[in-house]
Amino acid sequence: MTESRMSLRRYFAVFGSLLALTVTTTAVARVDLGDFNVVVALLIAVLKALLVVLFFMHLVRTPHRTMIVAGAGVFWLAILIVLTLGDVLTRGWLPVPHGW
């Protein structure tokens, strides 16, 4: 198997992007955006995770089978999050009996 190496310049560019996104996360946390604080923080976190997975874990230059396995892991995580949110968000729909 031939191993293609990424340049040191690209690693430093990704590292600089991660640092910039960390500073952005800190700056956004100090600004009151109302309900959008969580949304913006999660978007930045997803971008940082995507950069780490693609470049530092070398998913950019892997065979398609590895990408399918990684995609299956993300899909499974999404299923778990949706099912958990489905439970948490619907807890107040039914009244609690007074006898308990």
Report yes or no on whether pTM surpasses 0.75: no
Over residues 38-64, the pLDDT tens digits come to 899 999 999 999 999 888 888 888 888
For 38, the 3-state DSSP assignment is helix
| H/E segment holding residue 24 | helix 8-29
Over residues 3-37, the pLDDT tens digits come to 567 789 999 999 999 999 999 999 999 999 988 89
Query: Of the candidates 100, 6, 63, 45, which has an alpha carbon nearest to the alpha carbon of residue 37?
Result: 45
Q: Where are the domains of the chain?
A: 8-89
Q: Tell me how far apart the alpha carbons of residues 87 and 100 are, in angstroms, rounded to a whole number.
A: 21
